[in-house]
């Protein structure tokens, strides 16, 4: 199945956009570059997660390219670790804001998953 059949992209985009606007409004003073790179790493992390899970769930073990799944999970980890590390080191303010934003983005992703009936 395609990603658009599993995740409501419109809902994910709208709620994420509102979250980004609120974050930049409250915490963006002097932190625009840091927050932009952190949010980019969050979205790339989510994309790698979705692609890896779709490969695992939609192919049989004989057809699956395990190297590709491993590379997607490795990329997911490295992108997230790099984004969080950069954000925590360079954010002017409380470091928990960076981690809290990631948790909120995970909740937004969960709320955007379409329910199968």
66-79 pLDDT, tens digit each: 899 999 999 999 99
Residues 31-55: what's their mean pLDDT? 92
Helices 32-58 and 9-27, interaxial angle, to 10°? 160
Residue 80 clears pLDDT 90, i.e. is over it: yes
The first and second tokens of residue 117, run together, are 């009936």
52-62 confidence digits (pLDDT tens): 988 888 888 88
Measured CA to CA, the distance from residue 82 to residue 61 in angstroms comes to 31
pLDDT for the residue numbered 5? 66
Sign of CA dihedral 98, 82, 8, 32: positive
Query: Which pTM value belongs to this model?
Result: 0.85
Q: What is the pLDDT of residue 45?
A: 93
- List, for residues 102-115, the tens digit of each pLDDT value: 999 999 988 888 76
Q: Which of 80, 53, 46, 47 is nearest to 69 (CA)?
A: 53
> Does the pLDDT of residue 82 top 90, yes or no?
yes
CA 51 to chain centre: 12
Give the model's confidence band at 41: pLDDT under 50 very low, under 70 low, under 90 confident, else very high. very high
Confidence at residue 4, expressed as pLDDT on a 0 to 100 scale: 57
């Amino acid at each position: 199945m395609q990603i658009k059949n599993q995740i409501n992209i419109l809902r994910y985009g709208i709620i994420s956009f509102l979250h980004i606007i609120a974050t930049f409004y409250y915490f963006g003073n002097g932190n625009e570059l840091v927050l932009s790179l952190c949010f980019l790493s969050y979205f790339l992390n989510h994309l790698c997660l979705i692609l890896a899970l779709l490969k695992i769930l939609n192919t049989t073990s004989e057809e699956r390219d395990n190297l590709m799944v491993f590379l997607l999970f490795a990329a997911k980890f490295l992108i997230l670790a790099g984004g969080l590390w950069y954000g925590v080191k360079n954010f002017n303010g409380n470091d928990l804001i960076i981690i809290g934003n990631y948790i909120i983005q995970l909740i937004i992703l969960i709320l955007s998953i379409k329910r199968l009936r």
